[in-house]
Amino acid sequence: MPSPTFAPEPPYAHGSPARTAVVLCNLGTPDEPTAPALRRYLGEFLSDPRVVEIPRLVWLPILHGVILRVRPAKSAAKYASIWTPEGSPLKVWTEKQAKLLGGHLGERGHQVQVRYAMRYGNPSIASVLDALKAEGATRILLLPAYPQYSGTTTASVIDAVTAWSARQRHVPELRFVNRYHDHPGYIAALARSVRAHWQAHGQAEQLVMSFHGVPERTLHLGDPYHCECLKTGRLLAQALGLDAKGYRVTFQSRFGKAKWLEPYTEPTLVAMAQQGVKSVQLICPGFTGDCIETLEEIDMEARAAFTQAGGERFEYIACLNDRPEWIRALTDIAEQHLQGWPTREPVNAQALDDSRQRALAQGARR
């Protein structure tokens, strides 16, 4: 076997202070809403064997010979419809969440560096880890933006970090947050966002909770994603006081001809409208920041499908984004997984002793 090639290491200095970092990892986004940018992004995304579990010899010719010739232009048009002056909504929200997370951890006394990274696109996980290591980070917590664990998402982040680690001579301590689908703070933040919408707009006949779909075969192969989505939905319904008739859990973003987790979101909305349901409100609990799947697929395409089938009132409830209760919950999750790492400023024993002596002296004078 060939010898491994390691990345250049900064000079090691004995006694250097240990530093801790948190990396908030999201799925990714193209750099701009253009066909060339989408071709690069989709090429990386759809080449991941975690995402498409088809033998490489079969899949890659289809990907490069058909999909990457046709889909980028169509996808670019969809991204253009939701692009903001600041860039991709997913990147905007992820960056803002990372900054707010860093601020909240600092307010709680933690001295940590907080960055964000994308599994596909920029900034890549490898580039962010390189930068943190150059800045002296020796302990790194990877916090995926996916509340529900899936091999297609969470495990892919772990793969990317593992691939980066294989190129390092001096590997930092690493921790991973695998899931927080039932975290009380996460559920409470979702419930509060729904209640705020109800207070402003009233309550619809049905609340639909739409999660990103995955092929059904992943469930039978042991992926816990389906079960964790259902648990999130159940806990959210309980927090809102809804019975089984007041909400539905569905799955969106089906790709290809294989059977995916059911029921599918858009066909469910169409069927509801055809059965006489006039008003629905839809939330996407699995997405912590608004993105192409929520803003275009749900708030545009699903809305049109519902109204064209006879529905009258379709309301999309925005993702958690930068809601204060969500940032507090995210901080709780990070703080929980940072336990045991000395992230607080060390106490100066001499200064503490001097302070105690001054307090005793003041007490004696009284």
Give the pLDDT of residue 5.
Answer: 80
**Which residues have C-beta within 8 Å of that of residue 141, sequence separation ≥ 6?**
20, 21, 22, 23, 175, 176, 177, 334, 337, 338
Q: Are residues 136 and 167 in the same domain?
A: yes
pLDDT at 6 exceeding the cut of 60: yes
pLDDT classification of 346: cutoffs 50, 70, 90: low
2 belongs to a structural domain: no
Q: Are residues 164 and 33 in the same domain?
A: yes
Averaged pLDDT, 142-168 = 98
pLDDT classification of 256: cutoffs 50, 70, 90: confident
Residue with structure tokens 């250049």?
A: 8
Q: Are residues 203 and 270 in the same domain?
A: yes
Task: Check whether 104 is labelled as a binding-site residue.
Answer: no
Averaged pLDDT, 242-270 = 95
Measured CA angle at 268 (ends 253, 80), to 5 deg: 35
pLDDT at 105 exceeding the cut of 90: yes
Q: Are the beta carbons of 183 and 329 closer than 8 angstroms?
A: yes
Averaged pLDDT, 142-165 = 98
Give the pLDDT of residue 338.
Answer: 98
348 belongs to a structural domain: no
Give the pLDDT of residue 182.
Answer: 98
Q: Are residues 237 and 289 in the same domain?
A: yes
Give the pLDDT of residue 359.
Answer: 44
Alpha-carbon separation of residue 149 from 45, 93, 107, 297 (angstroms): 18, 21, 29, 22
Query: Which residue segment(s) compose the domain that 29 sits in?
Result: 19-180+323-338
85 belongs to a structural domain: yes
353 belongs to a structural domain: no
Q: Are residues 198 and 77 in the same domain?
A: no
pLDDT at 347 exceeding the cut of 60: no
Lowest mean pLDDT among 12-16, 168-172, 218-222, 339-343: 12-16
pLDDT at 354 exceeding the cut of 60: no
10 belongs to a structural domain: no
Strand partners, 22: 114, 141
Segment 300-334, tens digit of pLDDT: 999 999 999 999 999 999 999 999 999 999 999 99
5 belongs to a structural domain: no
Round to whole Å and give the CA distance between 272 and 306.
8
1 belongs to a structural domain: no
* CATH code of residue 175: 3.40.50.1400
Segment 35-90, tens digit of pLDDT: 999 999 999 999 999 999 999 999 999 999 999 999 999 999 999 999 999 999 99
Averaged pLDDT, 2-30 = 83
Segment 266-305, tens digit of pLDDT: 999 999 999 999 999 999 999 999 999 999 999 999 999 9
Q: Are residues 248 and 233 in the same domain?
A: yes
Q: Are residues 248 and 175 in the same domain?
A: no
Round to whole Å and give the CA distance between 283 and 279.
14
pLDDT at 137 exceeding the cut of 60: yes
CA-based Rg of the chain, rounded to a whole angstrom? 24
Q: Are the beta carbons of 2 and 93 closer than 8 angstroms?
A: no
Segment 121-131, tens digit of pLDDT: 999 999 999 99
Lowest mean pLDDT among 167-181, 224-238, 339-353: 339-353
Per the prediction, the chain carries an average pLDDT of 93
Q: Are residues 37 and 166 in the same domain?
A: yes
Q: Are residues 65 and 206 in the same domain?
A: no
Task: Check whether 301 is labelled as a binding-site residue.
Answer: no
Total number of domains constituting the chain: 2
pLDDT classification of 190: cutoffs 50, 70, 90: very high
364 belongs to a structural domain: no
Of residues 262 and 363, more confidently modeled: 262
Give kind and range of the element (H or E) at residue 281.
strand 279-283
Q: If 0-12 CB within 10 Å is exposed, 13-18 middle and 19+ buried, where does residue 347 land?
A: exposed
Q: Are residues 168 and 63 in the same domain?
A: yes
pLDDT at 363 exceeding the cut of 60: no
Q: Are residues 280 and 332 in the same domain?
A: no
The DSSP line for 286-297 is T-SS--HHHHTI
Give the pLDDT of residue 144.
Answer: 98
pLDDT classification of 15: cutoffs 50, 70, 90: low
What pTM value is reported for the model? 0.91
Q: Are residues 69 and 168 in the same domain?
A: yes
